[in-house]
Chains A and B, each alone.
Chain A
Amino acid sequence: MMVALKQARRTEQHTPATARSGPSSRRAGPERFSPRELGGLGFLLPFLAAYALFMLYPVFQAAVMSFFDWDFLDITRREWIGLSNYRRMFWGTEMTWTAGRMLPLRLIGLALLIPVVLAWRRGAVSRVAAISLGVGIVVLFGAVLGIHPGEGGRWYDSQFWLSFGNTLLFVVMSTPLIVGVGLALALAVNRPSRITGLLRAMFFAPYVLSVAVLTLIWAFMLNPSLGLVGVVGDWFGAQPINVLNSTTWAMPAIVVATMWWTVGFNLVLFLAGLQDIDRQQYEAASIDGAGPWQTFRHITIPGLRPTIRLVVVLQVIYSFQIFGQVFIMTRGGPDGATRVLIQHVFERGFRDFQLGYASAMSIFLFFVIIVVSVIQFLFLRGGEDEA
């Protein structure tokens, strides 16, 4: 979607040029419009009305509500409480700081400094971006993640951390898998053969199913006594286990089901990207005697870079929004092992009617998505310049 924004900006730069050559503008000065031109606004009004009412207003309202105690049922309980909702999300009692808390994760996080420095040295990201990212990494992984409730203390809402952690886990597991499999399938399917269209259609088909059909199929597929997965496992002598009831396997199972469902989307984007690569480059490479691997490494991958960037960013955004699969298949169980952030938002908002608190969490998710997308853009853009 960021790409869309970027492309839109490009289109916008386009439009004044076409408008100038078009009949409507007689170059009457920058700020004067004929009645006929003012009438052009009429074309826009229906959409603008819907957009303002169902999009702009709700986003601002969500931000405002996040500072309120906003009970849906009790109208008297709607008061400004400042940052209390955010405090409830992020804070707890008896908070302390420990250097060793979540050490492996924090060390991995701090190691992210290396690619940042490398990208800066290569000139792929600007100095300001590199420094702010570096500071961000040090503050987040070096300091902030060391904060936790001390002895006798607890998080105000430990479920929030659980759900957010699971959402991150889903993002980390699903993104490489769904992007990687999509790319592999696209490379395999993209061959000079009449059957390409059929293969593409077959791999894409699950994408048009609704989430309720996906869960219907996969909950039964994975059912230890009824499902086909059990039957196949039986051939290999595996004991049937109730995958969706296992704290270890429930999340991987949901990731696999999600991959089956949505990988066709990435496949389509990758195929379009592959077909955009100039054929002459391949011909030149084969004349130069390049092998398949060299061709792949030096022509396919660089040519595909914009598509890879697009797919990764979109995939991360979609993965952060995971909800339906989990909510229908496991209700967030077993033991909260698959509980994700949107489920938490949904339940706080529409089961407990704490709309203010739920809004604060949705705003937080929005913020995370934006930050992650911007960072991805900074980094993946660097690769493109190199190509």
Chain B
Amino acid sequence: MSAPTTQDQPATQDRAMTDDQPVTRSRRARFVRKHLPTALLLVLAIIWLIPLWWMFSLSLTPNEILQRDTSNLLPPEVTFENFLSVFQVGLSGRWFLNSLIVASSTTLLTLTVSSMAGYAFARLRFPGKKILFPVVIAGLMVPQEVMFIPLFLIFETLGLHNTHPGLFLPRVGVPLGVFIMTTFFAAIPGEIEEAAQIDGASRWRIFRQIMLPMAMPAMTALAIFTFVLTWNDYLWPLVSATEREMFTITTGLASLQGNFAQATELGALMARGVLASLPLLLLFMIFQRQLIRGISLGSGGK
């Protein structure tokens, strides 16, 4: 970090001592030296995004052109037909809706349940806390692949396969949110709560009216992170929702792949890919900071 700034020092002295012409040259050299790495990085970052860009480009290209040539990074002709077909042909619209319902429900439930539990663990005194907290946090280490077979049987018994609750309920038990919220609430100073206590406010009111508003940054981060993870979940929907109508956009899109020899519907397929990524890319653009914060918080990095 400090390397470029230290190099500036001698150059400034040079300028004071020499006449005009070398100054401009050294200034230009300095400009290049300072900005060349950034420029190169920017080029690399643009190359990095070409695969994504390509998907968007293909989704806007008419299928007749795609049958001849798929290597265009800009559509030679722009059409929205591929996107119209998404909602007219097949179940993609339905899958998209399923994903919206499932991801929003999971996010809402996770926020409610985790903020309450996090508050309890961080601020309240109750029996069994010393045992419960480690037991809950140990759950962070369990990969979902270990649980999905018994989970499948539970939801079979409950008769909840191929339903929305069947898709969103299991993730509510994941302790990541509790971990994030506990860490956050534990860092809030006690005086604020004490003042409210003296005013005779109930626990629930303190939580709702004082603690929750303060926790908004952590809650936003948790919400974005949960939404992204749920939207992208693959294994559980694959196992639980076996009827085509109940696929999420992720499992649905996966089910459409596999036969790449026929490129006749390539544009429409790419349009479905765009549809599957658009909500998340938008969320990411708006809430970039919160999502990244969520990652740092969730992995215990910060």
Given contacts A12-B133, A211-B250, A324-B235, contact A19 B146 (CB under 8 A): no
Q: How far is the CA of A339 from the CA of B71 in the complex (A)?
A: 30
Given contacts A5-B138, A55-B147, A220-B70, contact A44 B2 (CB under 8 A): no
Number of interface residues of A (CB under 8 A): 122
Q: How far is the CA of A19 from the CA of B228 in the complex (A)?
A: 34
Q: How far is the CA of A212 from the CA of B55 in the complex (A)?
A: 13
User: Which residues of B have CB within 8 Å of A22?
Assistant: 123, 125, 190, 193-194
Instruction: Say if the beta carbon of B217 comes within 8 Å of chain A.
Output: no
Q: Which of A31, A59, A204, A272 contacts B301 (CB 8 A)?
A: A272
CB distance A220 to B154 under 8 Å?
Answer: no
CB distance B123 to A18 under 8 Å?
Answer: yes
Q: Which of B116, B139, B146, B250 contacts A366 (CB 8 A)?
A: B146
Binary CB contact string for chain A from 298 to 338 against chain B (1 if under 8 A, 0 otherwise): 00000000010010001001001101100011010000000
Q: What's the nearest-Cβ distance from chain B to residue A144, in Å? A: 23
Q: Which of B2, B123, B175, B250 contacts A51 (CB 8 A)?
A: B175
CB distance A226 to B277 under 8 Å?
Answer: no
CB distance B257 to A4 under 8 Å?
Answer: no
CB distance B121 to A15 under 8 Å?
Answer: yes
User: Which residues of B have CB within 8 Å of A8?
Assistant: 133-134, 137, 179, 182-183, 300
Closest Cβ neighbor of B224 among chain A residues: A208
Instruction: Say if the beta carbon of B127 comes within 8 Å of chain A.
Output: yes
CB distance B190 to A323 under 8 Å?
Answer: no
Q: Which of B127, B182, B234 contacts A212 (CB 8 A)?
A: B234
Closest Cβ neighbor of B280 among chain A residues: A208
Given contacts A1-B141, A307-B301, contact A54 B172 (CB under 8 A): yes
CB distance A208 to B283 under 8 Å?
Answer: yes
Give B81-126 interface residues, CB cut-off 8 Å to A: 112-114, 116-117, 119-126
CB distance A202 to B48 under 8 Å?
Answer: yes
Q: Which of B45, B207, B251, B263 contacts A202 (CB 8 A)?
A: B45
Q: What's the nearest-Cβ distance from chain B to residue A175, in Å? A: 16
Binary CB contact string for chain B from 23 to 35 against chain A (1 if under 8 A, 0 otherwise): 0000000000000
Binary CB contact string for chain A from 25 to 55 against chain B (1 if under 8 A, 0 otherwise): 1000001010011111101101110111111
Q: Which of A46, A209, A269 contacts B296 (CB 8 A)?
A: A269
Q: How far is the CA of A17 from the CA of B198 in the complex (A)?
A: 20
CB distance B139 to A51 under 8 Å?
Answer: yes
Q: Which of A135-143, A149-157, A184-192 contacts B (4 or more CB under 8 A)?
A: A184-192
Q: What's the nearest-Cβ distance from chain B to residue A241, in Å? A: 15
CB distance B284 to A205 under 8 Å?
Answer: yes
User: Which residues of B have CB within 8 Å of A366?
Assistant: 142-143, 145-146
Given contacts A48-B117, A220-B260, contact A292 B122 (CB under 8 A): no
Q: Which of A50, A286, A359 contacts B173 (CB 8 A)?
A: A50
User: Which residues of B have CB within 8 Å of A51?
Assistant: 136, 139, 173, 175
Binary CB contact string for chain B from 183 to 205 against chain A (1 if under 8 A, 0 otherwise): 10010001001100110000100
Q: What's the nearest-Cβ distance from chain B to residue A264, in Å? A: 9
Given contact pairs A190-B1, A211-B250, A220-B58, enumerate 11 new A-B contacts (beta carbons under 8 Å): A8-B183, A18-B190, A44-B120, A58-B148, A191-B38, A199-B45, A205-B281, A210-B277, A212-B253, A274-B1, A366-B143
- Give me 30 A-to-B residue pairs in the complex whose CB atoms sit less than 8 angstroms apart, sorted by A's number: A1-B299, A4-B179, A14-B186, A18-B190, A23-B198, A24-B124, A43-B117, A43-B119, A51-B139, A54-B172, A56-B139, A59-B150, A192-B5, A198-B45, A204-B292, A206-B48, A209-B277, A211-B254, A212-B234, A220-B70, A226-B260, A272-B302, A274-B1, A276-B302, A320-B143, A323-B235, A328-B257, A345-B145, A358-B149, A365-B145
B interface list, Cβ under 8 A from A: 1-6, 37-38, 41-42, 45-46, 48-52, 54-55, 58, 70-71, 112-114, 116-117, 119-128, 130, 132-143, 145-154, 169-170, 172-175, 178-179, 182-183, 186, 190, 193-194, 197-198, 203, 207, 228, 231-232, 234-235, 238-239, 249-254, 257-258, 260, 263, 266, 269-270, 273, 276-277, 280-281, 283-285, 288, 291-292, 295-296, 298-302
